[in-house]
């Protein structure tokens, strides 16, 4: 394991570093993930990121981290893992969601028992209200009856709300609707990826981004009515086979990058070499994982007890260290730097470092403020995932080429005949052939809309008009 020595630790980890050794400062976490990795014969990085996602889902209702600027930040974590078929997605998720599922089951049972009492009280309250109307309608004059009804209605029993944290293979739209009925904390888990990595889910990514930041979210719905989500916490764990991920990236990757969703994620690509490991006759010991479950159960009980969310702060030394890391990332965002082509990632990495630091500190039951040792380990961990991000999004087409091709089509017509207004269907039919299949046109079109180069108008019977805004010929076409 890594022995901390701040005088020899560089400002930022080197590019291409190996997966960081576990820190001695986090024994409970270390024991559980090492045991799981050994028993399942899976990469430690895969196990650690899954465990961190579960920890974030449980702790996000209990704590925020105070940034050096003074503003509180949720400790929620978004994770994206590509895993080849047979790579242990479900086995790994099941290990760490087990105590949460068991807690949910117990809460559902308790809610059913509370519901019996609620229904009895509601029936009595309803009878009292009818009796009030029947006996006193003729006896009371003026505003006396309405005032009595108001007083009585304020005493109406409140239905118990079942506890639910895990939303498995649920679309973001369905998740938002469920949270609109009173939920405050959610763990969106997708073991197949398709429910989140889809064109339909793209429109809800801004809302997921806002909740990741702890912002207030207004959800507008045509048929079911609008609602507001305030002080809601959500962590996201997406596991996907590489083919599903690559297909999504080739079509909608640039738009998803534009939204900032992927930059908020800690990403990991599990290599095919981990599939098909030999089995032996060893009797597996899960003692450390059980201790991990005990800690999770304790935090879950705290989350439903009504206690206020606490704020975790950095120690003075850790605060100065985080500022140095943030400034070094800003420097690396300039021409030729590590983040030069990944400014979205540069903006979110310091925040993820703060979140991971707070999670380790809180989970291990540390007193006081976040230590510089914990911060440095979180930094090494996040920067390893930065390298993964660069590899995953540099080696694949993200739809940028399609957006450029469609922009060129518009620009050539604007340049030759000053045409800038179209019907969307006419554009779809006349655009380059390569864009007319596999949803590529829609992805490129939405990306240009998001960047402000296309404006949509709705005419009668739902006909969509399109206005081209060349924006200074951003792609340099002639």
**For residue 220, is it left (φ>0), alpha (ψ between -120 and 50) or beta?**
beta
Average pLDDT, the chain: 86
Write down the pLDDT at residue 386.
95
Given a cut of 70, whether residue 473 has pLDDT beyond it is: no
Three-class SS string for 96-128? Answer: HHHHHHHHHHHHHHHHHHHHHHHHHHHHHHHHH
Q: For strands 185-190 and 166-168, give the pairing.
A: parallel
CB 21 within 8 Å of CB 1: yes
Confidence of residue 394 (pLDDT cuts 50, 70, 90): confident
pLDDT-derived band at 322, boundaries 50, 70, 90: very high
pLDDT band at 395 (very low <50, low <70, confident <90, very high): low
Predicted confidence band of residue 472 (pLDDT cuts 50, 70, 90): very low
Kindly report which listed range (270-284, 306-320, 326-340, 446-460) carries the lowest average pLDDT score: 270-284
On the question of pLDDT at 140 being above 80, the answer is: no
Strand partners, 80: 238, 267
* Crossing angle of helices 440-450 and 400-417, rounded to 10°: 70
Answer with the residue of higher pLDDT: 50 or 195.
50
Give the mean model confidence (pLDDT) for residues 217-243.
Answer: 85
Does 199 have pLDDT greater than 50?
yes
Q: Which residue has the higher pLDDT, 336 or 260?
A: 260
Q: Distance between CA atoms of 364 and 372, rounded to whole angstroms?
A: 15
Q: Provide the pLDDT for residue 139.
A: 64
pTM of the model: 0.79
Average pLDDT over residues 108-113: 86
């Amino acid at each position: 394991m890594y022995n901390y020595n701040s005088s020899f630790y560089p400002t930022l980890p080197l590019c291409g570093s190996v997966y960081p050794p576990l820190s001695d400062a986090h024994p409970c976490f270390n024991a559980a993930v090492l045991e799981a990795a050994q028993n399942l014969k899976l990469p430690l990085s895969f196990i650690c990121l899954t465990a961190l996602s579960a920890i974030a889902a449980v702790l996000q209702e209990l704590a925020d981290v105070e940034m050096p600027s003074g503003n509180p930040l949720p400790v929620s974590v978004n994770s994206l893992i590509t895993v080849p078929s047979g790579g242990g997605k479900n086995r790994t998720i099941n290990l760490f969601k087990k105590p949460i599922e068991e807690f949910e089951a117990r809460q559902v049972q308790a809610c059913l028992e509370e519901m019996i009492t609620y229904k009895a009280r509601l029936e009595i309250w309803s009878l009292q209200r009818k009796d009030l109307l029947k006996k006193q309608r003729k006896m009371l004059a003026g505003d006396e009856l309405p005032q009595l009804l108001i007083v009585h209605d304020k005493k109406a029993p409140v239905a118990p709300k079942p506890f639910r944290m895990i939303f498995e293979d649920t679309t973001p739209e369905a998740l938002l609707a469920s949270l609109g009925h009173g939920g405050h904390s959610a763990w969106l888990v997708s073991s197949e990826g398709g429910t989140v990595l889809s064109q339909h889910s793209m429109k809800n990514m801004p809302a997921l981004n806002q909740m990741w930041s702890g912002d207030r979210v207004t959800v507008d719905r045509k048929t079911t009515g609008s609602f507001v989500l305030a002080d809601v916490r959500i962590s996201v764990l997406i596991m996907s086979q590489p083919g599903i991920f690559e297909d999504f990236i080739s079509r909608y990757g640039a738009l998803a990058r534009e939204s900032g969703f992927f930059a908020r994620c800690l990403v990991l690509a599990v290599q095919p070499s981990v599939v098909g490991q030999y089995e032996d006759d060893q009797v597996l010991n899960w003692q450390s994982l059980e201790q991990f479950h005990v800690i999770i159960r304790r935090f879950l009980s705290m989350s439903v007890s009504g206690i206020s969310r606490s704020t975790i702060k950095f120690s003075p030394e850790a605060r100065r260290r985080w500022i140095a890391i943030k400034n070094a990332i800003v420097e690396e965002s300039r021409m030729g730097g590590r983040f030069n082509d990944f400014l979205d990632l540069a903006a979110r990495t310091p925040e993820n470092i703060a979140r991971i630091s707070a999670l380790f500190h809180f989970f291990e039951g540390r007193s006081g403020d976040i230590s510089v040792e914990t911060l440095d380990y979180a930094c090494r961990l996040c920067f390893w995932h930065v390298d993964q991000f660069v590899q995953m999004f540099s080696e694949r087409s993200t739809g940028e080429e399609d957006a450029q091709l469609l922009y060129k089509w518009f620009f050539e017509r604007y340049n030759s005949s000053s045409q800038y207004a179209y019907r969307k269907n006419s554009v779809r039919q006349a655009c380059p052939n390569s864009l007319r299949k596999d949803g590529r046109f829609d992805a490129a079109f939405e990306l240009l809309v998001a960047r402000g180069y296309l404006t949509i108008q709705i005419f009668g019977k739902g006909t969509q008009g399109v206005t081209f805004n060349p924006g200074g010929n951003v792609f340099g076409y002639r």
